[in-house]
Amino acid sequence: MIRIAIVGFGTVGQGFAELLERKREEIRKKIGEFKVVAIADSKSSISGEFSIDEAIKMKREEGRLRDDRKADELIDEVDFDILVEATHTKLDGGSGLSYIKKALKKGSHVITSNKGPLVADFEGLMTLAEKKGVKLMYEATVGGAMPVIKLIKRYLAFCEIESVRGILNGTCNYILSRMEEEGLPYEQILNEAQELGIAEADPTYDVEGIDAAAKLIIIANTIGVDAKFEDVERVGIRKITPEAFNVAEEKGYTIRLIAEVSKETLRVSPRLVPLSHPLAIKGTMNATMFKTDTAGNIFVAGRGAGKEETASAMLSDLYDIYVSN
Ligand code: HSE
């Protein structure tokens, strides 16, 4: 029986719990029986006998869970095999970083959707996981449902990845592609992106390229480039006007916020992209192009945000922990 503890019970944590329940039978067939043994949000928790449905209902109706026990104590006191860490991103790692460290030190696997801890201490966390002989999985931190991390680690395992270029922020891509098509100014479209529920709680993180830079740091470290957030050359999309698209289009280009890592480059900035190029993707989609020595160019695209999409990436991590060895 796989025992799962969930810390962070907002959209992502609840989405993951719901998907576990919905896919219970498939998970049982492919991995085995599981039980969610504890859930904590920022101020309350539940452990012992409870069902996922019951916890979700409680959280939605009462805004909290049954007990006062905090996430920290829960991690210390409850026995579990996997910690699912889905708290909000803070670039200094925030409490998510200490939850992950605690769980790894205890010898449990971790699946996280939280960029902050990996941006703050990628090397430290990976070393700790290795020392304890457990896995730290983070597919959901970059590009939501778009497979990037396990693609690098498994399918491109023996490739030299010469560069990665990607659209890693759905909010910016949505704003830029609406600007391109409708000539609307960015402030107006940002409101609509917020209504779609994909923008960060503080949308400055999106439009200034902070979210994309955080994801780029995770990709960079995954391909073996030892980089820190401060190393990213970063320009956001605030200064892009609808007129800029007209000029670009006359020459056969559009404008996209591109995150790029190679030996020489670590940058997030608006770039001209040929209209026919796969990275000229539209709407909230994310896309990534890998340039490799032996596999040529690989292109992937997918939904970079959303409750179910993020949960699907976390579920793929669960599969990886138990099956893909
Ligand atoms: N705000 C992010 C985006 C959500 O727009 O892509 C996923 O990290």
Tell me the average confidence (pLDDT) per consecutive run of 10 residues in the chain, 325 residues long: 97 96 96 97 94 95 94 96 96 96 98 98 98 98 96 96 97 94 87 83 91 98 96 96 94 97 96 97 96 97 92 97 82
Provide residues with CB under 6 Å of ligand 1. 169-171, 198-200, 206, 211, 304-305
- Mutation to probe ligand 1, out of 113, 118, 142, 169 (largest number of atoms < 8 A from CB): 169
Domains, in order of start, for the chain: 2-145+307-322 (3.40.50.720), 154-303 (3.30.360.10)
- Mutation to probe ligand 1, out of 198, 202, 208 (largest number of atoms < 8 A from CB): 198
- Is 215 assigned a catalytic role? yes
Per-residue confidence (pLDDT) for residue 174, from 0 to 100: 94
Per-residue confidence (pLDDT) for residue 194, from 0 to 100: 84
Ligand 1 center from residue 171 Cα (angstroms): 6
- CA-nearest of 284, 309, 115, 113 to 196 is 284
Catalytic residue among 101, 150, 215, 307: 215
Determine phi and psi for 287, rounding to 5 degrees: -150, 150
Per-residue confidence (pLDDT) for residue 9, from 0 to 100: 97
Ligand 1 center from residue 212 Cα (angstroms): 8
Per-residue confidence (pLDDT) for residue 325, from 0 to 100: 61
Residue closest via CA to ligand 1's atom 8 equals 305
Per-residue confidence (pLDDT) for residue 35, from 0 to 100: 97
